[in-house]
Amino acid sequence: MTQPAALDLTQDSSSQNLQNLNLSEQGSPQSQQPANPLPTDPVATSVKLTGRLLNFTRLNIEGNDIKVILTKIAQKLGRQRQSNLPVIVSCHHPLNLAQLWGGLWALGLQPIGLVTGANDAQANELRIAIFPADGQRIDGKAPKNVATGRERKSDSTKSNPSSQHVAQPPTQSPASDSQVTERQNQTANDIAANNTASNETTINETAAAPEKFVASPHHQSQPEGDLVHTQMLRSGQSINHVGGDVILTKGINAGAEAITDYSLHVYGKAEGRLVAGATGDTNAKIFCLRFNPSLVSVAGTYCLKENIPIEYLDKAVQVSYLDGQGLVFELME
């Protein structure tokens, strides 16, 4: 087992090595010529902001002893060390963020950002990206209140507790390396095995951050306000909308994606990737007449098709987020 001391990278030794390298190369003719000379001919320049949802592993840390933390992470990773796994770090106690970041890189992880908390000042100094806490929007806008199916039900329905159910995740012992992966891929069918007769099922929340923007072909983006799309969203096409609901009157095919920071409405078949509350709005909802997506996500918590209970497929379904539980699937009557 690698000892924490071996992971402790000091800036002094790195700076000295860099100085020695620079001194040794000063007399070399090759060091005076760049390996890849910069192009001299001007090239047309363009900048475009597009969007796609990416999923990252979240690394939750308790405590502030960096050596102990890195040792536990190394034990948890096991054979997956040096896997270049991108992670978002969440730590609740002040600690030496620079030392932690260096240790994570040494373990083969790629820390890409920090969940806001006690170490924000250090993150700003180190130019580390800061992500919002659970339930907070990235852009700081106020959440949009949306009436849930539960709120629209009659008093008689509310008085019948058997018509609704929030499934509890099974008790788990401390996980091994293989169990960590299994926990993240736990199916909703396992969670709701004894509740197939209920009209509402909760999917256990997965540790993934709502993530963010890389190039996407066939991408459409509109100004703020609700967006109504009156054509079928076909495979390979993507809608990424900020500032209002997205309403698809024809539906969405497999291989396409619809992303909005508020609620998503699909008045047709709903395949492909369906994302609402992309910036963290926990009040966002997804409404579909024929629910059969490859991926569904609300407020950064996602679920794959194989994890959706079969009784909800090809039905009229509402998907919402329940704090502390995760995604809630509810049949719309």
pLDDT at 326: 87
Return d(Cα 72, Cα 4) in angstroms, integer. Answer: 10
Instruction: Of 11-25, 96-110, 225-239, 307-321, give the lowest mean pLDDT range.
Output: 11-25
pLDDT at 293: 95
What burial class does residue 145 get, using C-beta atoms within 10 Å of its C-beta: 0-12 exposed, 13-18 middle, 19+ buried? Answer: exposed
Return d(Cα 328, Cα 75) in angstroms, integer. Answer: 34
* Nearest Cα to Cα of residue 165 among 185, 187, 194, 189: 194
Q: Which residue has the higher pLDDT, 259 or 152?
A: 259
pLDDT at 153: 42
Q: pLDDT by residue (tens digit) across 238-270?
A: 998 888 899 999 999 999 999 998 999 999 999
Please give the share of the chain, as a percent, with pLDDT higher than 90: 40
pLDDT at 138: 52
Q: Which CATH number fits domain 149-159+191-331: 3.40.190.170, 3.40.50.300, 2.40.110.20, 2.160.20.70?
A: 2.160.20.70
**Which CATH architecture group holds 52-133?**
2-Layer Sandwich (3.30)
Q: pLDDT by residue (tens digit) across 47-102?
A: 887 666 666 788 999 999 999 999 999 998 887 666 788 999 999 899 999 999 99
Contact 130, 114 (CB under 8 A): yes
Q: Count of CB atoms within 10 A of residue 328's CB?
A: 23
What burial class does residue 115 get, using C-beta atoms within 10 Å of its C-beta: 0-12 exposed, 13-18 middle, 19+ buried? Answer: buried
Q: Which residue is listed with tokens 């700003």? A: 124
What burial class does residue 41 get, using C-beta atoms within 10 Å of its C-beta: 0-12 exposed, 13-18 middle, 19+ buried? Answer: exposed
Contact 262, 240 (CB under 8 A): no
Which stretches does DSSP call E strand in the chain?
57-61, 85-91, 109-115, 130-131, 200-204, 219-220, 227-229, 238-241, 246-248, 251-252, 257-260, 264-270, 273-276, 286-291, 295-298, 301-304, 317-322, 326-331
pLDDT at 105: 93
Residue 165 falls in which region: left (phi positive, over 0), alpha (psi -120 to 50) or beta: beta
Per-domain residue ranges of the chain: 52-133, 149-159+191-331
Stretch 5-17: mean pLDDT, rounded?
39
Return d(Cα 163, Cα 172) in angstroms, integer. Answer: 28
Q: Count of CB atoms within 10 A of residue 303's CB?
A: 22
Stretch 142-171: mean pLDDT, rounded?
41
- For 62, 118, 149, 244, 328, the CA distances from 160, given in Å and listed in that order, are 41, 44, 15, 34, 18
Contact 69, 100 (CB under 8 A): yes
CB neighbour burial string for 197-216, b if at least 16 within 10 angstroms, e if fewer: ebbbbbbbbbbbbbbbeeeb
pLDDT at 141: 54
Please spell the DSSP secondary structure of 142-178, one letter per residue. PPPP---HHHHS-HHHHT-GGG---PPPPP-PPP-HH
Q: pLDDT by residue (tens digit) across 180-216?
A: 333 333 333 333 333 333 344 444 433 333 333 333 3
